[in-house]
Structure 1
């Protein structure tokens, strides 16, 4: 990726490592939850149902968003938005400079 400085690369690395840790915890905890279900409710699955699916899917949705944030950081759209804001506020500063007279007082139209 062009134009990345050390700070941006460091931030991207932190996000990716954070996702990997999140995924590891997700996998470990869900293995425990499924094991609990298997050893306690598997024989009576008709009565208790497959309750482990709800935390698995709910947490999985959050994990998917974390993945997207860590690996699909759209820097080009961020740069475009930054340039728009920069242009907007530079224009505002130029207008402010034009409305001030030589003594620094603001002229009223």
Structure 2
């Protein structure tokens, strides 16, 4: 079953929203609890950011292939 372009873009937006919410929360916790230690949210930001970039690329390439005649 093929997802529509609208559904794929909606899924990407939800992914981006939760990426921002979760990572902002981690940065706030880091700032409150351990500001003088290593910036540990970096690992989540980078790891999840790679996954988000792949998701973006997949949606973009899929959208382009749907437009082609």
- Work out the number of aligned pairs and report it: 65
TM-score by length of 2: 0.83
Post-superposition Cα deviations, 1:54-87, rounded to whole Å, max 9, x if no partner, equal: 01100000000110111222528xx9xxxxxxxx
Alignment of 1:92-103 (within 5 A): none
Q: Which has the larger radius of gyration?
A: 1
TM superposition outliers: structure 1 runs of 4+ over 2 Å = none
Give the corresponding residue for 2:32: 39
Residue ranges of structure 2 left out of the alignment (5+ in a row): none
TM-score by length of 1: 0.54
Match of 2:41 among 40, 52, 75: 52
Residue ranges of structure 1 left out of the alignment (5+ in a row): 1-7, 80-109
Give the corresponding residue for 2:18: 25
Which structure carries more helix by proportion? 2
Distance 1:30 1:38 in 2: 12
Q: Does 1:62 align with 2:51?
A: yes
